[in-house]
Structure 1
Amino acid sequence: RAEITVGSYYEQLGSGLVLRTYEEPSLGIDNHLRGLRLTARPFDRLRLKLLAGRQRNYWETDASTIYGADGEWEVPTRHGRLTLGASWVARREQPDALSRIDTTGFSQTFTLRRFNLVQPVDVSAFDLRAAWHTRRWQWLAEYAWKGQDPSFDNGYTYRHGSALLLSGSWSTRGKSFLLQIKRAENMSFRGRRAASLSASTLNHLPPFAAQPTYALTALYPYATCNVPGEWAFRAEAAWTLPRRTPWGGRYGTTLRLRAAHIRDLALTDGPEGAEAMGTDGRRARNFWAMGGTRYGEWALDAERRLNRSLRLHATLLAQTINRTAVEGHGGRVNTLVGILEAQWQAGAETALRAEAQYLHTRQDQGDWWAGLLEWSLSSHFMFTLSDQFNARVPSSARGTTSSVHYWQAFATYTATRHRLQLGYGSTRAGYNCAGGVCRYVPAQKGFTLSYQLRF
């Protein structure tokens, strides 16, 4: 009962706090490992895993070597199932040649100097977790710790990293509830210490902000803050109104209420920038200390089927984001987004989908509206037409922001494992996010062609 993998593979240990390799084409992420993996089950309820390899970095492979070990043990009990797990991940990388800019004298002369920094060749991260599952309840407690890892992300400082994830959920027929808490401090872990943005990421902190699925909900996205860290809270409740009632209708109505609140860590005073290199840097005042609000949201979703062919979905979303804390500029922006979506099954192989969206804000670029029409013909062809428009530019932005239409048209063909898409249109500048990871995309106009082959 063993399995050996030689070559390229994706892997996630636990919730991904110390290791998660995955592919996300929209962000240009493919950080798989290339090497060896051994998975064994010496007993029915015990799973062991050993791995080693080098990480892909865009079109290249990092020079560092990644090692890991993981074990999970399922303990059956009278009232549920207890799962205990532990993971270890290590990176072996030779030191880099570092330089920093120093200022001297009253004239503030800038000098580029070689900086001799002790860089650990081996950096380890550990993860401990326990999950409890019953018929209606699911509980998870997971803690990760990372050794000294001076890197580009943390300004080449020496403080340790840590992450705590607590999750509890309850569900029964027609009802469910979820509550999660996360604390992360200096928990950036990469296959190359000098990497930045989305390159060479080894771990992944689960995002607590809802992942945008509509155009205007993605206008002000939130990216998880690994360094210096964050406190994050998330709650979600869902319930189904009974069928054949005034509120539930003939086919029933599903409601979902969700909220998220994310705050900075309250940090001690200390050196910043180049002056912090080689020190422990700024750390949290204490475990519970919180700073200002980074992001907050609440949303209400409702879905109702009117008949066998027509389904409606409505969303009301309120957001507040501190763009200065998240992006470095922009101040605080408060938004209110309304969305209405209709899906009509016109025939056995024909379907229509339409979206209408409106975003209201008194800050930044003002109000936006967006619309989409999608026609699916058989199981092979799909045609899409969409538009975004800056409906009302606030006075503070007049003269600097143009109210233009961002039209897009796509034709998509899908057959078995193949997907071919041709499009034309323009997109605004902004951030493209998935799984709490964001990448800046400049404004562009022209043709797009994409092809996907699934193995």
Structure 2
Amino acid sequence: MNRYKLIAILLCAPFFVFSQEDEEKKDYGKLSGGIESNSQYYVDDAKTGDFEQEDPFRSNNYLRLNYNYKNWFAHVQLESYEPNAILNFYPKYKGTDIGTFAVGYKNSKIEATLGHFYEQFGSGLILRSWEDRQLGINNSIRGANIKYRPTNDLEFSALYGRQRDGFEVSDGSIYGFNAEIGLSSLFKFESTGLDLGLSYVGRDEDLDIDNPDFESLTNSFSARLDFTEGNIYSSIEYVMKGEDVYSELGNIIDDRYFDGSAILFNIGYAKSGLGIDATFRRMENMAFFSERDESANVFNQNYINFIPALTKQHDYGLTNIFVYQSQPRLTFNPLFKSGEIGGQVDIFYNVKKGTKLGGKYGTKLAFNFSTWSGLKGDFNTNDRTYEDTDLFGFGDKYFEEFSLDIKKKWSPKWSSIVSVVNTYYNARFVEDRTGEVNATALVGEVTRKFNGGKSIRAELSHLFSDDKTTERAKNWAGGTLEYNFSSRLSVFATDIWNYGNPDEDRQVHYYAFGGSFTKGATRVMASYGRQRGGLVCVGGICRFVPENTGFTLNVSTSF
């Protein structure tokens, strides 16, 4: 009960402050918040299998309250996973409890938070705490976070805390310091933007290890530079991760120590009708956890840093079957991998109106190329160690993809999208299973608008694949039909079919149908159907979802 008393005191602290103010002002601050409920009821299905776990009904629920009074703020988030969390969420999300809470003070120069907070240094390569309920991620830090802005061009941050782990916190402590320096103003540049960032993150976790060389504290440092000039922009970031004990499949190997590093470079050009963006990243042993033995967890928990897959994020079911996940970890079992190297290029071009290709309304083209490989190095399989890797050496290819999207408006009521995606997917390194896959997806989408906010959208897709696995073998076909009665009410039906699978029992229609209704800040969505087993990805971070069939209900509102 002491914890709940402390939370109550923290949440009430702003009230004690303004209770001494002149009552005639009657400024009681502002209370806001939101409610979100995501529920599923699983049923037996001859194709996707019987539901053999307990509690076919499962629900994830969130209530968040925010209070602001002048420069003071407070929040609390209550979470309930009853009777259990949705399938394949982190097992520690169980029951009902307070998930996060905090109080703080903010003005133009100082911001201080006590309790749970989210933070990011630079791109997140060294530190990012964040929440995504669809993926089941909330790695907020519970402790103290202070920001100081002496001028508009300087910001300094310091933090200490422990990362959220279910309804508890991790054993490892996190220390952080960050500085953002606007060099343009300091050097009085008129048209050039130049910003410098410097960061430090330490993770301190004491382990029961006999090795006298063991250090509980692991230090990481980051330096980055952002540059803009006219239509050109670029950034570069380097991260150095200190030497740390090696963890293999969740087991600490106390006589193996390795350091890590990362390089992230981005350059782009943008003007009216044309955009070019290129990103390069090299990571070596950059998985950084608040608890070392969580290095093999599949729930994206206890990550201190943010290392998404830098590939195109697709919108269609068949273009998301062979999805790449970033490979930052050092591992000797079952394969020898020390990280990844690669990048992607995006080109966006608007064909002008009135030209042969542009037509009356113009045409939008979007091209993406991404390629990722392992680091080139000498691995010693017997001693489970490796020599220095080549800085820009490309080892085994993990993933490569070309895609082209053509968006065309034909009239005020008709528009279409055509997408082509060609993928190479090395399942041996990405999933630790045998096989290399070559696949090509073709997608066609058309939308017809009617008066009164009504519209209908139809999509047809096909995937040509040489995958030989039982679950995803050979070719697929898919389609979606969506009708919007208005901006508030819509219904849909969708299906993807593994018709090319040589196993007739695996030629499954993964269908779903449902609808959504929105009024003001409230949205209700319901559906019934089959979920294909595989990865659900948001922003390059993925969660594995097992094959299942059932009803889904999502309700959210804010106030």
Structure 1 length-normalised TM: 0.89
Say whether the 8 Å CA contact 1:266–1:284 is kept in structure 2: no
Aligned to 1:424: 528
Aligned to 1:376: 484
Say whether the 8 Å CA contact 1:153–1:188 is kept in structure 2: no
- 2:454 pairs, out of 345, 350, 365, with 350
Aligned to 1:112: none
Aligned to 1:140: 235
Say whether the 8 Å CA contact 1:223–1:433 is kept in structure 2: no
Q: Quote how far apart the aligned CAs of 1:116 are.
A: 5.7
Q: Quote how far apart the aligned CAs of 1:341 are.
A: 1.6
Partners in 2 of 1:117 and 1:248 — Cα distance? 69
Partners in 2 of 1:424 and 1:190 — Cα distance? 37
Residues 89-108 of structure 1 show CA distances to partners (whole Å, capped at 9, x for unaligned) of 111222157xxxxxxxxxxx
- Partner of 1:217: helix, strand, or coil? helix
The 5 Å alignment of 1:7-156 reads 7-76=115-184, 77-96=189-208, 119-152=214-247, 156=253
Q: Quote how far apart the aligned CAs of 1:149 are.
A: 2.2
Aligned to 1:231: 341
- 1:292 pairs, out of 368, 375, 396, with 396
Residues 21-61 of structure 1 show CA distances to partners (whole Å, capped at 9, x for unaligned) of 12222221111112221112101211111122221123332
Partners in 2 of 1:96 and 1:212 — Cα distance? 45
Partners in 1 of 2:275 and 2:233 — Cα distance? 11
Partners in 1 of 2:528 and 2:482 — Cα distance? 15
- Partner of 1:160: helix, strand, or coil? strand
Q: Quote how far apart the aligned CAs of 1:151 are.
A: 4.7
Aligned to 2:303: 201
The 5 Å alignment of 1:206-355 reads 206-227=308-329, 228-271=338-381, 276=384, 281-355=385-459
- Partner of 2:451: helix, strand, or coil? coil
Say whether the 8 Å CA contact 2:173–2:205 is kept in structure 1: yes
Q: Quote how far apart the aligned CAs of 1:340 are.
A: 1.2
Say whether the 8 Å CA contact 1:64–1:192 is kept in structure 2: yes
Partners in 2 of 1:148 and 1:420 — Cα distance? 49
Say whether the 8 Å CA contact 1:265–1:284 is kept in structure 2: no
Q: Quote how far apart the aligned CAs of 1:211 are.
A: 1.8
Partners in 2 of 1:182 and 1:165 — Cα distance? 4
Aligned to 1:109: none
Aligned to 2:503: 398
- 1:182 pairs, out of 275, 281, 284, with 281
Q: Quote how far apart the aligned CAs of 1:135 are.
A: 2.0
* Range with greater deviation from structure 2 (144-153 or 329-338): 144-153
Letter in 1 for 2:537: C
Partners in 2 of 1:27 and 1:63 — Cα distance? 23
- Partner of 1:325: helix, strand, or coil? helix
Question: Tell me, which stretches of 5 or more residues in structure 2 are unaligned?
Answer: 1-108, 330-337
Call closer, same or farther: CA 1:308–1:444 in 2, change over 3 Å: same
Q: Quote how far apart the aligned CAs of 1:70 are.
A: 0.7
* Range with greater deviation from structure 2 (427-436 or 46-55): 427-436
Partners in 2 of 1:159 and 1:186 — Cα distance? 8
Call closer, same or farther: CA 1:158–1:385 in 2, change over 3 Å: same
Letter in 2 for 1:428: R
Call closer, same or farther: CA 1:218–1:283 in 2, change over 3 Å: farther
Letter in 2 for 1:337: A
* Range with greater deviation from structure 2 (199-208 or 14-23): 199-208
- Partner of 2:176: helix, strand, or coil? strand
Partners in 1 of 2:199 and 2:292 — Cα distance? 21
Call closer, same or farther: CA 1:24–1:152 in 2, change over 3 Å: farther
- Partner of 1:169: helix, strand, or coil? strand
Partners in 1 of 2:440 and 2:199 — Cα distance? 42
Q: Quote how far apart the aligned CAs of 1:289 are.
A: 2.3
Letter in 2 for 1:131: D
Partners in 2 of 1:175 and 1:138 — Cα distance? 14
Call closer, same or farther: CA 1:153–1:20 in 2, change over 3 Å: farther
Letter in 2 for 1:220: F
Aligned to 1:111: none
Q: Quote how far apart the aligned CAs of 1:253 are.
A: 0.4
Call closer, same or farther: CA 1:355–1:151 in 2, change over 3 Å: farther
Aligned to 2:555: 451
Letter in 1 for 2:484: S
Residues 194-244 of structure 1 show CA distances to partners (whole Å, capped at 9, x for unaligned) of 112211111112422212321011101000000120111211211111102
Say whether the 8 Å CA contact 1:4–1:37 is kept in structure 2: yes
Letter in 2 for 1:186: N
- Partner of 1:194: helix, strand, or coil? helix
Q: Quote how far apart the aligned CAs of 1:138 are.
A: 0.4
Say whether the 8 Å CA contact 2:177–2:199 is kept in structure 1: yes
- Partner of 2:195: helix, strand, or coil? strand
Question: Tell me, which stretches of 5 or more residues in structure 1 are unaligned?
Answer: 98-114
Partners in 1 of 2:220 and 2:519 — Cα distance? 43
Partners in 2 of 1:369 and 1:422 — Cα distance? 24
Q: Quote how far apart the aligned CAs of 1:287 are.
A: 1.5
RMSD: 2.0
Give the fraction of aligned pairs with identical amino acids, expressed as a percent: 28
Partners in 2 of 1:117 and 1:343 — Cα distance? 67
Partners in 1 of 2:269 and 2:396 — Cα distance? 31
Number of paired residues? 428
Partners in 1 of 2:143 and 2:521 — Cα distance? 27
Residues 340-383 of structure 1 show CA distances to partners (whole Å, capped at 9, x for unaligned) of 12223323432322221110012331110111122233333232
Residues 166-202 of structure 1 show CA distances to partners (whole Å, capped at 9, x for unaligned) of 1110111111111221110000011111112211111
* Range with greater deviation from structure 2 (158-167 or 373-382): 373-382
Aligned to 1:3: 111
Letter in 1 for 2:247: F
Say whether the 8 Å CA contact 2:346–2:369 is kept in structure 1: yes
Letter in 2 for 1:420: V
